[in-house]
Chain A
Amino acid sequence: MWETILQSLAATMTVANLVALSAGGIMGIIVGIIPGIGPMVGMVIILPFTYSLPPNIALSVLLGIFCGGYFGGGIPAILLRTPGVPSSMMTALDGYPLTQQGEGQLALSAAIVGSFAGGIISVILLMLMAPALSKVAVSFSSPEYCMIAVFGLVVVLVMNRKQIARGALLTALGLWFSTVGIDSGTLVPRFDFGSVEMQNGLNIAPMCLGFFGIGQSLLLLERKVLQTETMALTRRALDFSKIIAVLKYWLTLIKSGVIGTIVGLIPGTGSITASFFSYYEAKRSSRNPESFGKGTPEGCLASEAGNNAVPGGAMIPLLTLGIPGDPISALLLGIFTINGIFPGPLLLVNEPVLIYTIYFSLILINIVAFITLALFLRPFATIVRLPSAIIAISVMVISLLGIYSMNLNTFEMAVAITMGVVGYVFLRLEWPIVPWVLGFVLGPIIEQRLRESLSISRGNPLIFVTRPISLGMVIVCILIVIIPMLVDWKKNRVANG
């Protein structure tokens, strides 16, 4: 055990890893600060370059962007009332009023301390919960894995229940995309439409890069995202007396970090839900709930601690079950599988050094992001003033060349542009896009586990309800569909008298 920890510490403290996590963290802050870009776009831009790196270095870069993005997202929310990442909209509720009152430093201190504490709490919980969940998951077989993946899709659908038919359609569309190419079980080509390139299947990098990178950039070309041009920030660095001042909300910090981690580990919920729940729990338990929404550092702190705890939480199902709970975790899963590492219950046994290296890297990323923002707040904050259209076309160029550099063929660039147009249409129509991505990522897992389960039972689908854990998952899936529907129906009845 101690030997593993020492080896992991040594791997974490190598120059290459420290450079990777620092670069990732700083890049994450930059993409987080720019409204409309965010950590997902940042990660997909960098993804093609990470394929040739060792897995721990690649993961450090991507996790740096993941965590740094949430650190950065709170800054424009506080200074300009424009969230850099959607989950920082709760931060804007109190942050911007504080800025208007001349307390921008206090709001930023609360947000950055909140992000730091949320990140650290989630890593501690990850270290405690991952081994326990792995022990349970050892007894899982194909039907259980299949149902867990289905559970992830059902949760995403329920989260988008106002557009449930559309969500189901997009989920199924994502699942269908995952079937394109040669079937690994029977070596039969599927849906290749006569194209040799299509027989290789659709790679996650051009699909996600097109959908998020190019799609989001096309949207940025026609939308002015900044709501105000005035940015009040007098000091270059954070005021440390304000950091001390916000530490009196330590209990809110811990609660928000725990809420964010738990929300993060539930597939499909995401950082917006985490910051929403953290904010309202802080408001409910506050001594001054009336100050929320008018400008209290406690609100900024709760929201940011909640959303920055999500990356750590999302790693729990990814590492222990091999099931990504959100699109960002799906990209991390890609890094694992490309390097021949398959996340699941045995990962902690087979790759303990890598796992502990990830834990330590996550802690260091949070420290680097905190120090970077504390010391260089104003230079980073001015990034928000870059014209969004110029950022958008620059993102498109680097995205497409990154895709080209993976396989040196133009087919994947064409896939990325096509998916960019599809992503733009979905984003513009405000269709839920997370179901599509999770469908695409979970498709191969569900198909493989479904066929294995049916092979075990010789084609009898009742295998999913004759095994206790699988049956439990089926019941949970049904309940999480029915209960919100009943609650909505009751609310509508009360509203209609």
Chain B
Amino acid sequence: MSTKSFRSVGWVAGVGAAALGCYMLSLQVAAERAELAAVERRIVAARQQIRTLQTELGTRGRLQQLEHWNAEVLALSAPAAGQFVENEIVLARLETRGSGELAAGAPVRMASAETGDGPVAAQPPVRTAAAPAAPAPATPTVRRASLATPAPTPAARPIAAKTQAPVRTAGLDARTTRAIGEAARAEARPTRPPRTAAAATPARTASATTPGTSRPERRPSEAPARTSAKD
């Protein structure tokens, strides 16, 4: 009898507990959902605020206002054609400091640092031409050659670059022909073995004559200069 009545109580309690559990669960879900909705609302509010602030910023920084400041306060004007740099070679030409040091007889290390690239070393004709002329007179020759090119002001024009080429070839030509003449005479007797360091010097300076044009393949006008040095 008692177990029977307890059983019913147990049933009621069990069902009650299960119902309560289900209810708690659903309450939990509802709470989570409400929280999610609140976050979403905050996101929406933030987006709206962003939009409002963007609009305000855009209105305050409107182009007419900028135009007013540009024209009347800062007095800016449109950039001219010369202020645009087409490529890095033209940009490098704007550098004037390096050429001044060269003229003052600065160490040649400066120049070698600029043209430490592979292509220069990989030119056997230059080396062979320089090797016989390795003795003392080679160094002043080099100095003069480097003097010739910095003389024109660093213009940002490719045209100016082209006009520079003949000047350099002429300078090199006169020197090298004389050097080659000496070399021809000197060839009979054995000179000091041509050292690579000495060989590198003329090559280095030959490229140092055009500051900034480090890569020979960029300058087709350099080709004649090299060939004349070889001859």
A and B bind: no
Which residues of A are in contact with B by a Cβ distance under 8 Å?
Answer: none
Which residues of B are in contact with A by a Cβ distance under 8 Å?
Answer: none
